[in-house]
Amino acid sequence: MKAVIQRVTSSSVVVDNRTVGTIGRGITVLLGVERGDDESKADWLARKICDLRIFSDEAGKMNRSVTEAGGELLVVSQFTLAGNCAKGKRPSFDTAAPPDEGKRLYDYFVDAVRKLGLPVQTGIFQADMQVHLVNDGPVTFILER
């Protein structure tokens, strides 16, 4: 399971010219599910993202988690994170989870974050989406489990 996380001041996702998810201050999560991923990986990633201290404290140091900062998450499925660009000119998606399994674990991850007490908005799995965000910092991390 892979995630690109970005600290944002605002973020939204649009499908068919309709905003389906929007947040203020928080984290935008682009989530990729691969073959062999399971609930334990989703649980680990959910806890890691919620506990990661990437928000500034009073001294301006990254010392607060999204939970402590009162932030939100926007979680967007990102199939292309499973892409391998090592050979040729076209990415290979052999390691990507099949769509049914990807959706199941994507939904599981979203529920795991909600159970940790954070407000969560989402995109639509397998939809053609446009993600709009204002990256705060910019602060961006890649997490893998």
Query: Residue 7 maps to which CATH number?
Result: 3.50.80.10
Residue range 20-42: mean pLDDT, rounded: 98
Residues in contact with 98: Cβ distance below 8 Å, sequence separation at least 6, in sequence order: 35
How many structural domains is the chain composed of? 1
**Residue of 6, 28, 55, 78 marked catalytic:** 78
Task: Return the CA Rg of the chain.
Answer: 15
pLDDT of res. 27: 98
Active site residue 126: no
Active site residue 80: yes
Q: Which domain holds residue 90?
A: 2-144
pLDDT of res. 127: 96
| Chain segment 109-132, per-residue pLDDT in tens | 999 999 999 999 999 999 999 999
**Residue of 6, 28, 79, 121 marked catalytic:** 79
Say if residue 9 is exposed, middle or buried (CB neighbours under 10 Å; 0-12, 13-18, 19+).
Answer: middle
**Residue of 19, 80, 126, 130 marked catalytic:** 80
Using a cut of 0.85, tell me whether the model's pTM lies above it: yes
Residue range 7-22: mean pLDDT, rounded: 98
